[in-house]
C-alpha cells in the first residue's frame, strides 16, 4: 500500500466487495465524498469474486423481490449507470417443480411476485421441454419462469462501482485490514488498521464473510456466518442450448446454467459447517454431477474440467442485514445476504445511503431487514436459497 491513509474521514466502509463499493458510490453521489474504503485483500477478491452472479425476482418474500427489482436497472443499463460492461446475460431463471406441495407454494409465490410487477410466468411441462432442449421433463408438474432474470460478472460490477466512487472523491485502500473499532459514549469514533488509526463518526461493516468478525471489534454479535459453497464446470459438450435459462431443480436443490458451450452447476450443502475455509470436495462433485446427469441426460457426455468455491454469508432467516444499531450510534452493517448479495448490491448501496444521510430509507421500506430484528423477535424467512 503506497498511499498514506488519512487520519480522519467523514465515513469509513470496511470491505470493497460489490456491496461495499455500491455503498461508497451511493454515498459519494449524495455528496459524502470524504469517504474511505478499507479492504483486507483487493477489490472484489472475496465473496464477490467467487460468486456466480445470478439475479432473480423469484423469491418467497416480497422484500427480496423488491430488492432485486430496485437493483435490476443497474445491471440492465450498466454502460450508462456504471460506465462498464458487466457480461450481462438476461436468459431467465426456471424453477422446476415435481411435487404437489411445490406447485401449491410456487403458485402462491407467483401471485405475490406478479402483484409486485415481476413478469413471472407459469409453464406447463411441454413449455419447459421447448425452452430447455435436453431436459428430462417426465416427472415435472410445472415450473415458474421469469425472462427478466439472469446473471452477470460480480467483479466487473464491483470495480465499476469503485471507479465511480473514486471519481467522486472516495479513497479505496487495498491490503488494509481493520484491526480495531473505537467507540466512546455509545458511538463509534473510528477504526485502527496496521497502517494507523482513522477517526470517523460513521463506520459501515460491509465485510461479507468477515462481517461478524468486524462487528465483534465493536462489541456487537452479528447473526451472520460464512458457509462454503462449491461450483463446478464442464468443457463444451453437445446438447447445451447457449440461450437456456438458469434452472433450479427444487426437489434436489441443484442449479445449472450454460456457460461457453458447457455448464456451470452447484447445490447448497445443508451439512456444510460454518467457517472461513474454502474447499472443493470430489465426493460432492460426483454427487451433484449425478443429479445433473439425471435431470439433463446430455450431461452424461460432458467432461468436468474444474470448479471453485466461495462463501455465502448466512443469517438465520436467509435475508440480509442492512441498517444501524440504536445502542452504537454511527455503526452500520450491510451483510448476511445468504447468497443474494450481488443481486441486491445496487439497492443496498442506495438504501443504506438514505438511512445514513436521511435517517431512514425512503425509496423502499427495508425495516424488515434491520440487523436488530432477531433480538426483537421479528425474523423473516426466505425459503429458496439457491
DSSP 8-state symbol, 252: T
**Is residue 263 within 8 Å of residue 299, measured between CB atoms?**
yes
Residues 154, 150: Cα–Cα separation, whole Å: 13
Nearest to 256 by CA among 282, 291, 286: 291
> For 98-150, how does the pLDDT look when each residue is reduced to its tens digit (9 = 90+)?
999 999 999 999 999 999 999 999 999 999 999 999 999 999 999 999 999 99
| Nine cell digits for residue 158 | 464491483
Residues 18, 30: Cα–Cα separation, whole Å: 18
> Domain 93-147+226-314 has what CATH class?
alpha beta
> According to the model, what pLDDT value does residue 289 have?
95
Pick the CATH number of 1-91+150-224+316-386 from 3.30.2180.10, 3.40.50.720, 3.30.420.40, 3.50.50.60: 3.50.50.60
Burial class (CB in 10 A: 0-12, 13-18, 19+), 358: exposed
| Nine cell digits for residue 333 | 452493517
What number of other Cβ atoms are within 10 A of residue 179's Cβ?
A: 12
Q: What angle do CA 366, 87, 293 make, to 5 degrees?
A: 90
> According to the model, what pLDDT value does residue 2 have?
52
> Which residues lie below 8 Å from residue 101, measured CB to CB, with a gap of 6+?
none
| Nine cell digits for residue 111 | 401471485
> According to the model, what pLDDT value does residue 4 have?
86
Domain range summary for the chain, segments of one domain joined by +: 1-91+150-224+316-386, 93-147+226-314
Residues 291, 302: Cα–Cα separation, whole Å: 13
Same fold: 1-91+150-224+316-386 with 93-147+226-314: no
In the block, which residue shows the cell 481493520?
178
- Tell which phi-psi region holds residue 322, choosing left (phi > 0), alpha (psi between -120 and 50) or beta: beta
Residues 381, 343: Cα–Cα separation, whole Å: 18
Low-confidence stretches of the chain (pLDDT < 50) are 1
Q: What angle do CA 251, 256, 257 make, to 5 degrees?
A: 145
Amino acid at each position: 500500500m503506497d498511499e498514506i491513509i488519512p487520519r480522519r474521514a467523514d465515513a469509513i466502509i470496511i470491505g470493497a466487495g460489490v456491496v461495499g463499493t455500491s455503498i461508497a458510490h451511493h454515498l459519494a453521489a449524495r455528496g459524502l465524498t470524504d469517504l474511505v474504503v478499507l479492504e483486507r485483500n483487493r477489490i472484489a477478491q472475496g465473496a464477490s469474486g467467487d460468486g456466480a452472479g445470478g439475479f432473480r425476482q423469484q423469491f418467497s418474500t416480497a422484500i427480496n423481490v423488491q430488492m432485486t427489482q430496485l437493483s435490476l436497472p443497474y445491471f440492465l443499463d450498466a454502460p450508462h449507470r456504471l460506465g462498464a460492461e458487466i457480461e450481462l446475460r438476461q436468459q431467465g431463471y426456471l424453477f422446476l417443480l415435481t411435487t404437489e406441495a411445490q406447485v401449491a407454494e410456487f403458485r402462491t409465490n407467483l401471485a405475490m411476485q406478479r402483484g409486485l410487477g415481476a413478469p413471472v410466468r407459469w409453464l406447463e411441462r411441454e413449455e419447459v421441454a421447448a425452452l430447455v432442449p435436453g431436459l428430462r421433463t417426465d416427472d415435472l408438474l410445472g415450473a415458474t419462469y421469469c425472462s427478466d432474470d439472469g446473471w452477470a460478472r460480480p467483479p466487473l460490477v464491483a470495480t465499476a462501482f469503485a471507479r465511480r466512487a473514486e471519481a467522486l472523491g472516495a479513497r479505496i485502500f487495498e491490503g488494509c485490514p481493520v484491526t480495531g473499532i473505537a467507540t466512546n459514549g455509545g458511538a463509534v469514533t473510528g477504526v485502527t488498521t496496521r497502517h494507523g488509526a482513522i477517526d470517523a463518526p460513521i463506520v459501515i461493516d460491509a465485510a461479507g464473510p468477515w462481517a461478524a468478525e468486524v462487528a465483534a471489534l465493536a462489541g456487537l454479535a452479528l447473526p451472520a456466518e460464512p458457509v462454503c459453497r462449491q461450483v463446478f464446470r464442464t468443457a463444451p459438450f453437445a446438447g447445451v442450448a447457449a440461450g437456456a435459462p438458469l434452472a433450479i431443480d427444487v426437489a434436489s436443490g441443484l442449479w445449472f446454467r450454460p456457460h461457453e458451450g458447457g455448464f456451470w452447476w452447484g447445490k447448497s450443502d445443508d451439512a456444510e459447517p460454518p467457517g472461513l475455509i474454502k474447499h472443493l470436495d470430489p465426493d460432492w462433485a460426483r454427487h451433484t454431477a449425478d443429479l445433473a446427469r439425471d435431470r439433463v441426460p446430455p450431461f452424461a457426455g460432458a467432461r468436468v474440467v474444474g470448479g471453485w468455491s466461495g462463501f455465502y454469508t448466512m443469517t438465520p432467516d436467509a435475508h440480509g442485514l442492512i441498517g444501524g444499531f440504536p445502542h452504537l450510534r454511527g455503526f452500520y452493517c450491510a451483510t448476511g445476504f445468504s447468497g443474494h448479495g450481488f443481486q441486491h448490491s445496487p439497492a443496498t448501496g442506495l438504501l443504506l445511503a438514505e438511512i445514513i444521510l436521511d435517517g431512514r430509507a425512503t425509496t423502499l421500506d427495508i425495516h424488515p431487514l434491520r440487523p436488530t430484528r432477531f433480538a426483537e423477535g421479528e425474523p423473516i424467512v426466505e425459503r429458496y436459497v439457491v
